Each structure stands twice: as structure tokens, then as C-alpha cells.
Amino acid sequence: MQQGKPYYAVIFTSLRTTEEEGYNSMAQKMVDLAKDQPGFMGVESAREEVGITVSYWETMEDIQKWRQHSEHETAREQGKKIWYSEFKVRICQVLREYDFSGEKKDAH
């Protein structure tokens, strides 16, 4: 993400209902819309029984603006009524990051 400068992660964990209709298209619409928002840095998502989506933002203000975006508000309300049996949102400041790529070096 960013080297040296703290940024923020919004961690969304959820349990789904059995309703599938419209979910994937709405989820993709929200990712596409988020990508156009100021301060958006990226998103990672995985789902088994529990779904986890982590979006990354430059500032808390950027997160608040995204939360107040009218289409995002509509999607959240639909999610509560249709697609989620429960969810939790956590907002964290990322102070440090490191990674491992797993690429093998040439043995020659």
C-alpha cells in the first residue's frame, strides 16, 4: 500500500443468509464505486462460512465519506434486509506492513 505513512483498514466480517439473488452484482458494484472514491487504496476479500472484506483508505475522513455515499447507504440497507444474517465492521489504523511473495530464486 503505502511505505512509511499510516493508513486505515475497514474490516467487514459477515454471515450470509441463503438469499443469493442480486448479491454478486451489488458486491461488484460497490467495489467499482469504491475504486472511484477519494482515498481508496484497495480491497481484499474471502468467503467461506464467514466472509471477510478489507478495504484500505488513506484517511478516516475518506472512510466517513464512503460510508455516507448514497449508493453505499442503499446497499447497506439491502444487505441488512436481504443478504446478511449478521455482520461486524472494524476500523483500524495500519502502522506497518510487510509481505512475502514466495517467488523462488534461480538456483544457478
What is the structure's pLDDT at 53?
97
CA atoms within a 13 Å half-sphere pointing along the CA-CB vector of 5: 8
Domains in the chain, start-ordered, CATH in brackets? 7-94 (3.30.70.100)
Report pTM.
0.87
> What confidence tens digit (pLDDT) does each residue in 52-82 have?
999 999 999 999 999 999 999 999 999 999 9
